[in-house]
Amino acid sequence: MAEIDCKVPAVVAQSVSEKVGVVKATGSWWRVFVLGILAGVYIGFGGELSTMVTCDLDKYLGVGFAKFMGGSTFSVGLILVVIAGAELFTGNSLMMMSTLDKRVSMGRLLGRWGWVYLANFVGSMILVWIMYGSGLWKVGNLAVGAKALSIANAKVNLPWVEGFCRGIGCNWLVCLAVWMALSSRNVIGKIFAVYFPIMAFVASGFEHSVANMYFIPLGLYLKAKPAVVAAANLTGKLNNLTWGGFWINNEIPVTLGNIVGGAFFVGVFYWLAYCKGKVKVKAK
């Protein structure tokens, strides 16, 4: 009998609980930090590419198609994380399954989440500095810089509850992307498993805490460029675009929403469906 092309959900759940989560929780702190930096850079690459491609696309092809293309290009970030290998805070929400199975303590889980979150921020800032220094925000007669600034400003002006709810929707889809990638037995399958949920979350307008570690700090740097501010038509409208606004207005509610979306709606629900009761499933 031919081997089925992907692992069934019960096998994925068992693998996440017994292997993936435990390895992530017990690996070298230094190795995890390095891989976390890479994940921050990779997600930033997705954000950078999305901004570049969509900077003026809506004027020609409409808002809906521009959002679709933004999501399609942004998916390269998680594809790099999954295929090349990196530690991403949002994807690591699935470690909750190992904690529910009592394989990883809650203290260890929270410690790893915090460590990876910090590493993701460091990686994101590295790419922010590179992109700002590259001058690529000048492309299209400052269209790219104006788009980047507009994205950042919109994010820090989200109402707290909206940011929280958008964070839930985002990481529900991100963790499903990781889940389906784990089910695939080949690279092409993993890429397609990642692409569709990530395209969906970006095109829908959901909020990703690690992506925002790139989007908003880049906007903070570009805020100091009067020509970019004028090109974005945001003169006198950037009061909330500060480091305080970044953390309080966006990063905190979005991060909490990401945890709920990934750890609870994916991790807890699939644990209840496939792991509670310790039923062992033979891999196929």
> 6: which strand partners?
184
Q: What share of the chain is helix, strand, coil (3-state, %, to 5)?
A: 80, 0, 20
- Other CB atoms within a 10 A radius of the CB of residue 182 amount to 19
Query: How much is the pLDDT for 2?
Result: 45
Reported as a pLDDT band with limits 50, 70 and 90, residue 279 is low
For domain 9-274, the CATH class is: mainly alpha
Nearest to 213 by CA among 3, 83, 13, 48: 48
Reported as a pLDDT band with limits 50, 70 and 90, residue 6 is confident
Reported as a pLDDT band with limits 50, 70 and 90, residue 283 is very low
Does the CA dihedral 153-154-160-163 come out positive or negative? Answer: negative
pLDDT digits (tens, 9 = 90+) for 21-73: 999 999 999 999 999 999 999 999 999 999 999 999 999 999 999 999 999 99
Planar angle of CA 123, 126, 128, nearest 5 degrees: 110
pLDDT digits (tens, 9 = 90+) for 238-273: 999 999 999 999 999 999 999 999 999 999 999 999
pLDDT digits (tens, 9 = 90+) for 158-172: 999 999 999 999 999
Query: How much is the pLDDT for 277?
Result: 79
3-state secondary structure 36-95: HHHHHHHHHHHHHHHHHHHCCHHHHHCHHHHHHHHHHHHCHHHHHHHHHHCCCCCHHHHH
Q: Which amino acid is at 131?
A: M
Nearest to 43 by CA among 92, 99, 9: 92
Report the predicted TM-score, pTM, of the whole model to 2 decimal places. 0.94
Reported as a pLDDT band with limits 50, 70 and 90, residue 276 is confident
For the cut 90, the answer to whether the pLDDT of residue 177 exceeds it is yes
Reported as a pLDDT band with limits 50, 70 and 90, residue 278 is low
pLDDT digits (tens, 9 = 90+) for 190-232: 999 999 999 999 999 999 999 999 999 999 999 999 999 999 9
pLDDT digits (tens, 9 = 90+) for 85-140: 999 999 999 999 999 999 999 999 999 999 999 999 999 999 999 999 999 999 99
For the cut 50, the answer to whether the pLDDT of residue 281 exceeds it is no
For the cut 50, the answer to whether the pLDDT of residue 1 exceeds it is no
Query: How much is the pLDDT for 258?
Result: 98
Look at residue 159 and give its three-state secondary structure: coil
Query: How much is the pLDDT for 5?
Result: 73
Q: Are 73 and 206 in contact (CB under 8 A)?
A: no
For the cut 70, the answer to whether the pLDDT of residue 274 exceeds it is yes
Instruction: Give me the count of residues in the chain.
Output: 284
What is the rounded distance in angstroms from the CA atom of residue 96 to the CA atom of residue 119?
20
